[in-house]
Amino acid sequence: MLSKISTRTQPRPKSTPEADPLSPLTATSSFQAPRATIDPDKTKTWFRRIVPVLMTHRIAFVSALVLSFVGLMIQVQIPMILRWAFTSTVAPIMENSKNPSLHLHVASILPYAYAVAILGLLAGVSGYFSRRFLYDMAYNFEFDLRNLLYEHFTKMSFSFFDRVQTGQLISRANSDIRSVQMYTTFAPLILVNCSIAGVAFIYMLLISWQLALVAMATMPFIYLVGIKMRRDMFPLSWIIQARLADVATIVDENVNGVRVVKSFAAEERQLNELADAAERVKWSYVKDADLRAKWTPLIQNLPQVGLILVLLFGGIMVIQGKLRYDAILTFNLYLFMMQAPFQMLGMLVMMGQRAAASADRIFEILDEQPTIVDAPSAKVLASEPGTIAFHDVEFAYGHERHQRDGELSGTGAAGASEPHLVLNGFSLTIEPGETVAIVGRTGSGKSTIARLLTRFYDVTNGAITVGGHDVRDLTLTSLRARVGLVLDEPFLFSASVRDNIAYGRPDAGMSEVVAAAVAAGADEFIKQLEQGYDTIVGERGYTLSGGQRQRIAIARTLLVNPPILVLDDATSAIDVHVEQQIHQALEHLLEHRTTLIVAHRLSTISLAERVVLIDGGRIVADGTHAELLASVPLYAEVLAQAAALDGVPEQVQ
């Protein structure tokens, strides 16, 4: 959801085959799009699929790894310097303690102390820049991944959003992306630390290959424990992420539906529902903690067994004169240096399973392609669109879902019931400049006609043409730019009234915004707001009444001045007196544009020169209001029922 609508953003560069002289209606971010996307090959591992995005930051990434490796290599030298210091200064005194001429002098130790200090300083500087590059890369990578997902959301068809839950999408765009980011960026760093264990092992071999093999005796057991831990953690990690998404869904629905919840005094029931979801999350986390408690101590403490074996066998070798005691000291320092990577190894396994589960959930979204897209040879709709025609149109909500091979798991998809035809053999022609009202019972498909015209959905059978072109052969941008749609449930952004009206034309001047508001009958109440046109409306515009929201939505569409206008019950929440004022303004505005009105009020129908009555998904009557009222009993019945439901005492005559 947008928190602010910028009035200075530029339209996204067009990539359609033809140049569109009409700017797109949507404002876009000033940030550049990610330079790469995930690998589309589903047979690859999740990490290999995400590498292209990661490699767009390869300079910072490689620099961080190289500097980390350099810093650790510097630290590996310190035990060896300490051994040299011990061998050249302390060892001769201990071995010749009866010789009084041998004494320990501070001056003899200073060079080694300086060397250790310099190496420590270099390691610190290297570590600082390593982490600086790493964190910079990590957050840029997260930024790219989140933008890829958000951009994909904007490309998805309406059928996708009809069957997924908002909370699931929010969870995948936040916590799942964070899990992938943490592992993808920190796992290589941990592996670099583990590689230093290999370097330390080489030094240990140089000191005593027998003792080095004894120290590594526990490594096969650590590997087996890691494999077992990984197998146990993956399904549980998936469950945790899915249940966190369930909680996000419940919270989102309760926030957006707070008025419904309170109107039914259902707060306690909703709290219980959230508590149940939170309890399921808690159970998952407890199981996760059980697994961590079971396996992590083994991974972290098995190297300690190697230390015990080194002390035991190393002590025997020193007693037998096969090894110097300074070698044991250096050997143990390297063993301690190797323990940290193995302790991080357990954390790496847990992070990896959480990231793998999260990546699979993200890829489920990114791998799903939109069903409503521009055809390869899509044309730009002319600025004067021409005749609109519906040719024997059939449509059923959900028919696209039944054509898919599978469902998006865990997103609250609808059941597998057969789709029901909403429109069945619907045919209608609207000439340029004509105003046509569509009337019918609730659920007869009136709003569906508007959604099909703007290609929110594609017809199941038949075709819709504008200016002789099938809408499926036109670019979505040009089609939707020339068809202004005012919905019966207006949505306002959490922004100023001015920004909401100017959403389709962010560069519009204040005078144009006010003119559109006047035409929509909104100027009067807007001026009475605390800050007028600069007043920030609440989320979804709920600080305004339903009628006020509808008038702002009408003004938003009128400002764009589209040649085709679709009013989908756009004045249903407006009282009759205000509606008459809007109609007076609309009568002038509709003179030179093609208008399709989905209506049930007589006052709205009066704007149309032609009325179409639909029933059973097809047209059953077509004519003027007077003609239908006189010859079609169903028409009068539909109007009477609509007036009764609307609570307006209109007389059907």
Q: Where does 46-366 sit in CATH, by number?
A: 1.20.1560.10
Provide mean pLDDT across the span 96-120.
Answer: 68
Q: Put residue 521 in one of left, alpha, beta given phi > 0 → left and psi -120 to 50 → alpha.
A: left
What pLDDT, in 10s, does the model give residues 430-446? 998 888 999 988 888 88
> Scanning the structure block, which residue is given the tokens 């609509």?
642
Report whether pLDDT(234) > 80: no
Report whether pLDDT(414) > 90: no
The tokens for 488 are: 């019966």
What pLDDT, in 10s, does the model give residues 420-430? 788 988 999 99
> What is the structure's pLDDT at 5?
31
Residue 520 or 622, more confident? 622
Residue 285 or 612, more confident? 612
> What is the structure's pLDDT at 587?
66
39-53, 204-218, 410-424, 500-514: range with lowest mean pLDDT: 410-424
> What is the structure's pLDDT at 570?
65
Q: Within the chain, which residue ranges are assigned CATH 3.40.50.300?
A: 388-402+420-646
CATH 3.40.50.300 correct for 388-402+420-646? yes
pTM greater than 0.95 (yes/no): no
Whether residue 463 contacts residue 391, with contact meaning beta carbons closer than 8 Å, is answered with: yes
Give the CA angle between residues 278, 281, 287 to the nearest 5°: 145
98-102, 120-124, 476-480, 575-579: range with lowest mean pLDDT: 98-102
Query: Which of 214-218, 572-576, 631-635: highest mean pLDDT?
Result: 631-635
Q: Within the chain, which residue ranges are assigned CATH 1.20.1560.10?
A: 46-366
> What is the structure's pLDDT at 117?
85
Report whether pLDDT(14) > 60: no
64-73, 258-267, 466-475, 561-570: range with lowest mean pLDDT: 258-267
Paired residues of 610 in beta bridges: 436
Report whether pLDDT(318) > 50: yes
Share of the chain above pLDDT 70, in %: 79
Burial-class residue 207 by CB neighbours within 10 Å (0-12, 13-18, 19+): buried
The tokens for 600 are: 């049930």
Q: How far is CA 587 from the centre of its chain?
A: 43
Whether residue 495 contacts residue 536, with contact meaning beta carbons closer than 8 Å, is answered with: yes
> What is the structure's pLDDT at 258?
64
Residue 116 or 475, more confident? 475
What pLDDT, in 10s, does the model give residues 521-566? 888 889 888 888 998 887 777 778 777 888 888 888 888 888 888 8
CA distance 269 to 261: 9
pLDDT band at residue 372 using 50, 70 and 90 as cut-offs: confident
Backbone angles phi, psi at 310, to 5 degrees: -65, -45
